[in-house]
Amino acid sequence: MDLPSITNAPRELPLGGAIFRARALTLADLGEVLAWLDDRIPRGDDDGPTLLSGETARVALASTEGLAVVLHLALLSCQPSMTRGEARALAAEMTEDEERRLKAIAFRRRPNYDPPGEGKPGKDLAEIQWGGIIEALAQGRAWVYQEACRLTLDQYDNRVKKGEWDEPDDLKPSDVQRMWEEAMKPIPEVLP
């Protein structure tokens, strides 16, 4: 996995003539988006969860309020004083290009991510039973739950796969260690 994905490095998000730093949404952030949708989209008692990929959710998230939720969560780690109201004001003035850039950052997946498609059905994030997943990541340590929820989807994938999906020619930790040790060796003096 590439370093920007595994570290959830901030990306540049131009809005209204200013440049902001934004990150991909974490599991906790995605949970907040799903809770926001649940609070706004009416459902019957027998209905399942509000699907993030559903038409109703997409329309809600394209509204100024929906964009404000996503924008606020994407900016918050880099602009901790940002309020939801300030995000709403920025969202109200967003151009289509700025909206596309926000969604590309907030819902970012690693460059080689192969999403489910035809013949490869995937589950919506709202359909996944996250309790067992977070428990497995936390390994029974209650204080680790919040840290596990700070993972992005790419970081979660990397944890589950233990980094095993990288291409054969990708650097391994032992390669990086070897290169570091080589770089730290004293440079021999060269006599003229």
Give the count of domains, the chain.
Answer: 1
187: in domain = no
172: in domain = no
Give the pTM.
Answer: 0.73
Domain of 130, in residue numbers:
3-110+124-164
38: in domain = yes
pLDDT at 92: 96
Q: Which band of pLDDT confidence, cut at 50, 70 and 90, is reported for residue 74?
A: very high
169: in domain = no
192: in domain = no
Give the DSSP letter string of the chain.
--HHHHHT--EEEEETTEEEEE---BHHHHHHHHHHHHHHS---TT--PPPTTSHHHHHHHHSHHHHHHHHHHHHHTT-TT--HHHHHHHHHT--HHHHHHHHHHHT---TT-----TT-----GGGS-HHHHHHHHHTT-GGGHHHHHT-BHHHHHHHHHTTTTS-TTSPPHHHHHHHHHHHHSPPPP---
191: in domain = no
- How far, rounded to the nearest angstrom, does the alpha carbon of residue 34 sit from its chain's CA centroid? 14
Q: Which amino acid is at 79?
A: Q
186: in domain = no
Tens digits of residue pLDDT in 152-180: 877 777 777 765 555 555 555 566 666 66
Terminal-residue alpha carbon distance, the chain? 45
180: in domain = no
Residue 38 or residue 176, greater confidence: 38
Q: Is the pLDDT of residue 133 over 80?
A: no
